Amino acid sequence: MSAFEVPLALGMMRLHEARELQPPERLADWIEARLDQGLDWFDHADIYGDGQGEALFGAALRRRPSLASRVRIVTKASIVTPQRDASGHAVKHYDASPAYLGAAIDAALARLGVERLDHFLLHRPDPLMDAEATGRALDDAVAAGKIAAAGVSNFLPEQWRRLQGAMHQRLTVHQLELSLRHSAPCFDALLRDGLTPLAWSPLGGGSVFEDRLGRVLTAEAESHGCSPGALALAWLRRLPGRPTPVVGTLKPERLDALRQAPELSPPAWYALLEAARSHRVA
């Protein structure tokens, strides 16, 4: 069972673009409807809309305070966009320094209006990271009650092990690109190291519905009585550790369809893998 214990997490990357959800009352209605469906994990990052996503979400929670104790928040930081680069270089870069991460955590708490972040992830690995200093900063954030747990995103095994070796707290989550179109991470050391997988782009940006894979997905979905998208998520959930897909759609009807993911038999799982890779397993 995944540590998230939900069929999917709700990705907030495009929230700032959804004009119909920008009024706080409307967004509060949307959040409450998702909670009533049992979907209580919301995935944010400081670069989503340059903080607008978190700010809009926080405004909705302030409008309806009863929701704050029901939502569970993942957010990420360490990517500095050119617009936010104060150095004068206007260059996109990564920053995993204690000063940057500490400020990012405080800013996320303020925008979201919550007392603690359930999971705070380093969004991308910083080649210049001082693992000992960053590890201490994450440990300190947990000790201060600002974050419940720390994790990583888009890290390689040796990168997360380097950070973990400098920490007292356990890294709990790895958010990574994982789908039928991007299955290589299925075979890394994620589970051995005790990290719970969150899968971003679980539908491959729509590419899972194309070519032979799309045809096989459609046929299998018909036999399972679900949508092709739900079947693609079921493929992910069949993996050990039951990765939780982070789904970017905000449309209620689409989310409802994606929640209806069946359990796949091993042969059905391998049939989809074969269609995705265009060759049989050895």
Please list the active-site residues.
48
Contacts of 19 (CB under 8 A, 6+ apart): none
Q: What's the full length of the chain, in residues?
A: 282
E strands, the chain, in order: 9-11, 41-43, 72-77, 79-80, 93-94, 119-122, 150-153, 171-177, 196-200, 244-247
Burial (CB count within 10 angstroms: exposed 0-12, middle 13-18, buried 19+), residue 267: exposed
**The pair of three-digit structure tokens given for residue 105, joined into one six-digit string:** 């955590």
Q: Can you tell me the distance from the alpha carbon of 87 to that of 71, in angstroms, rounded to the nearest whole number?
A: 36
| Region of residue 83 (phi > 0: left; psi between -120 and 50: alpha; otherwise: beta) | alpha
